[in-house]
Homo-oligomer: A and B are copies of this chain.
Amino acid sequence: MHFTSERRLDDGVLEREFTLGDIPGILWTPAPGSAPLPLILQSPPPLGLRRTYPRLVARARHSAANGFATATIELPGSGDRPRWPAAEQARADLRRAMDAGEPVTDEIIDALVLPLVDKAVPEWQTALDALLGLPGIGGPVGYSGGVISIGTRLAVVEPRISAAVLFAGSFVPRAIVEEARRVAIPLHVLLQWDDEGNDRRAALDLFDAFGSEEKTLHANMGGHTGVPEYAGEAAAQFFARHLK
């Protein structure tokens, strides 16, 4: 992990860009106290770090005010990171099916999501190794993110993650629904009820499948990007309950 830039935001939060191999990322930390900082891994949506920076920094500042460090890394195939042909093909197949009003098949969903999960999850684990090696950052660790299949797999395979906020707004392969049954950490799942890019029924089935004893679904009105401010506040309270 190499820090490439550093600046202090007006509220005192330290923002540091870094690279982890060839993966760009950003770390935000509040002024360090005597105790090691809990950490939130904030996965960006697959639109890329640069396009979603305003949302990411707003959440990171809010988390910093609650005493948390926040880190994000670019997803495989997003931003300036290289695409891979199979993903491009799956995206084209998805667009074609949706434009034609045809059902999105399991084959398309698997081809779109599973390779992304396979690539992204070990990257987040490597990032976690590096982040927990930094002075002042100690955990516990929460995960918050947009591609719910990545969060689901991470929650199964990464024991250092204690709690997760998941956003039910993307296609979910059947294999991931099966993995969901093995998730045991507390979950806070956000669902936009009228999300145009999301199958509500599938999202509810995934929520039902999670094995966690504590899981909460917060469904709000509006489309994919219309998450109301109070829903963000509720997610912050969930982390405050579980990461301290």
Contact, CB under 8 Å: B237 / A230? yes
Instruction: Let me know if A217 and B219 touch, CB within 8 A.
Output: yes
**Is the CB of A97 closer than 8 A to any CB of chain B?**
no
Please tell me if A221 contacts chain B, counting CB pairs below 8 Å. Answer: yes
Residue in B215, B230, B237, B241 whose beta carbon sits within 8 Å of that of A221 in the complex: B215
- Contact in complex: A216, B219 (CB < 8 Å): yes
A188-211 residues with Cβ-Cβ distance < 8 A to B are 193, 204, 207-208
- Decide yes or no whether A214 CB sits under 8 A from chain B: yes
Residues of chain B lying within 8 A (CB to CB) of residue A83: none
Q: Among residues 224 to 244 in chain A, which have CB atoms less than 8 Å away from a CB atom of chain B?
A: 228, 230-231, 234, 237, 241
Cα–Cα distance between A218 and B217 once the two chains are bound (Å): 6
Nearest B-chain residue to A191, judged by Cβ: B217
Interchain CB contact under 8 A, B221 and A213 = yes
Contacts of A221 in B (CB 8 A): 212-216
Within 8 A of B (CB), among A34-55: none
Check A162 for interface membership: any CB of B closer than 8 A: no
CB of A220 within 8 A of chain B? yes
* Whole-angstrom CA separation of A163 from B228 in the bound complex: 17
Task: Output the residue of A220, A231, A234 with the most chain B CB within 10 A.
Answer: A234
- Given A193-B208, A230-B237, A237-B230, residue A216 in contact with residue B218 (CB < 8 A): yes
For residue A218, which residue of chain B has the nearest CB? B218
Interface residue ranges, A against B (CB under 8 Å): 193, 204, 207-208, 212-221, 228, 230-231, 234, 237, 241
Task: List 24 contacting pairs A-B, 8 Å CB cutoff, sorted by A.
Answer: A193-B208, A193-B215, A193-B217, A204-B204, A207-B219, A212-B221, A213-B221, A214-B221, A214-B228, A215-B220, A215-B221, A216-B218, A216-B219, A216-B220, A216-B221, A216-B231, A217-B217, A217-B218, A217-B220, A218-B218, A219-B219, A230-B237, A230-B241, A234-B234
Give 4 closest A-B pairs by Cβ, nearest first: A217-B219, A216-B220, A215-B221, A218-B218
